[in-house]
Amino acid sequence: MNSRVHIEVPADSGFGPAHLPYCVFRPLGEAPRVGARLGDSIIDLAVALDDPMFAQPSLNAFMTQGPQCWREIRERVRVAADSELPATAVHSVRAVRLDLPVEIGDYVDFYASLDHATAMGRMLRPAGEPLLPNWRHLPVGYHGRAGTVVVSGTDIIRPQGQRRTDSGTPDFGPSRRLDIEAELGFIVGAGSELGRPIETDAFAEHVFGVALVNDWSARDIQAWEGQPLGPFLGKSFATTLSAWVTPLDALTEARIPLPPQHPEPLPYLRDDESWGLDIRVRIEWNGQLVSTPPFRRMYWSPAQMLAHMTVNGTSTRTGDLFASGTISGADRSERGSLMEMSWGGTEPIDLNGVQRTFLDDGDEVVITASAPAVGGGHLELGEVRGRIASA
């Protein structure tokens, strides 16, 4: 039982030694614990680092320790990943179940893509300005349901509810306009106190890492219920989070300047070192690549989202999740929702030879993403996968 192994990783792996994302995994018949990924292997950190902080069913106990601990652990994982490890500390990603990696505190969803907000505005308010007056002044956002954030691979049960009809009276039944929203999620590791806004330059002291998000949306339910208080049942039935959380430090090579912002944001939203992320997203629908949304075009930066979310004195907690909102580019091939790709259902998408608009039962959507890795090459964020089950 003292055999040792060295994990071999192909040079073009998206999970090389510059990435090392975290997960919560469950070896057959064992309790969940925290792991780090190298190639197609998971390193059991409770064993490899001999630390009970990782013998936990979520990353929260680790995340709450704060950025100095995150850096130290990342360095120790890097050393371990490069060493011979006890065989008992190494599992194949295919032999284990992956759990939701984070115990979610609050879930906030932003609306930070100019291309997405413009497209939605054109569809929903064709007679008016596509952007509402507040959009260029603040990152619009709202609270979603934390209790229905599920891990990648969880089936999505088609929601039922009151659906908008042309008559002005709703009908009731399973959503007929079930949609996706490809987003990037940011996970708060170290929280903040009531009355203490997080300034833009303190982002890395609080945010532990990123994960992909699919914010499933029932457009017919949402369209009927959404005034005046915003989305509720059209979103709350499920939000899928990737099983892998990429540490913020793994994305330093992906940092890029933000697109220009006009008008200039208020001082609390300015940041001398503001950055966006060059993350290329892919959306596959039943195995067909249907879109490649570019995160680099997002208008509001992750640091601006967090600064805005807390400027009113709101506290944050370990496990809080805030997502970017749908990532869309300017081109049809870069849209992050079926609502946009099918232009509200009016321009069907050719899916393996069939004309389609929204999701059917049995459909599977897989969202993946890649980014430049530190030291060259690329890294792959954990996928977000979900299949639609009937209502």
Active site residues: 116
Position 162 contacts its own copies (CB under 8 A)? yes
Structure tokens at 247: 């540490």
Question: Is 50 annotated as a binding-site member?
Answer: no
Contact 166, 92 (CB under 8 A): no
Position 309 contacts its own copies (CB under 8 A)? yes
Position 34 contacts its own copies (CB under 8 A)? no
Of 73-81, 156-164, 291-299, 373-381, which segment contacts its own copies by CB under 8 A?
156-164
Structure tokens at 212: 């992909």
Position 44 contacts its own copies (CB under 8 A)? no
In sequence order, which ranges of 82-113 are alpha helices (DSSP H)? none
Of 5-13, 91-99, 144-152, 375-383, which segment contacts its own copies by CB under 8 A?
144-152
Q: Taking CB under 8 A as the rule, which mask of x and - marks residues 65-104 in contact with its own copies?
A: ----------------------------------------
211-240 as b/e: b if 16+ CB within 10 A: bbbbbbbbbbbbbbbbeeebbebbbbbbbb
Question: Is 111 annotated as a binding-site member?
Answer: yes
For 147, which DSSP code?
G
Position 57 contacts its own copies (CB under 8 A)? no
How far is it, in rounded angstroms, from Cα 38 to Cα 16?
6
Position 140 contacts its own copies (CB under 8 A)? yes
Position 266 contacts its own copies (CB under 8 A)? yes
- Of 337, 240, 221, nearest to 290 by C-alpha is 337
Name the 3-class secondary structure at 369.
Answer: strand
Among 311, 332, 343, 378, binds its own copies (CB under 8 A): 311
How far is it, in rounded angstroms, from Cα 66 to Cα 189?
7
Among 144, 185, 247, 382, binds its own copies (CB under 8 A): 144
- Of 282, 321, 330, nearest to 302 by C-alpha is 321
Question: Is 125 annotated as a binding-site member?
Answer: yes
User: Which strands, in side-by-side order, build the sheet including 156-157?
Assistant: 156-157, 378-389, 364-372, 280-285, 288-291
Position 231 contacts its own copies (CB under 8 A)? yes
Quote the Cα angle for 275-277-278, to 5°. 135
Of 14-22, 82-90, 106-114, 373-381, which segment contacts its own copies by CB under 8 A?
106-114
- Of 44, 41, 39, nearest to 11 by C-alpha is 39
Question: Is 360 annotated as a binding-site member?
Answer: no
Position 168 contacts its own copies (CB under 8 A)? yes
Among 28, 29, 94, 227, binds its own copies (CB under 8 A): 227
Q: How many CA atoms lie within 13 A of 239 on its CB side?
A: 32
Position 157 contacts its own copies (CB under 8 A)? yes
Number of residues that bind its own copies (CB under 8 A): 62
How far is it, in rounded angstroms, from Cα 130 to Cα 268?
26
Among 297, 308, 335, 385, binds its own copies (CB under 8 A): 308
Position 315 contacts its own copies (CB under 8 A)? yes
Contacts of 202 (CB under 8 A, 6+ apart): none
Among 41, 316, 342, 368, binds its own copies (CB under 8 A): 316
Question: Is 239 annotated as a binding-site member?
Answer: yes
* Nearer to its own copies among residue 15 and residue 111 (C-beta): 111
**Residue numbering of the annotated binding site for Mg(2+):** 215, 235, 239
Q: Summarize as ranges the residues that interact with its own copies (CB under 8 A).
A: 105-106, 108, 111, 124, 132-134, 137-138, 140-148, 150, 157, 159-162, 168-170, 172, 194-195, 218, 221, 224-234, 236-238, 263, 266-268, 308-309, 311-317, 320, 391
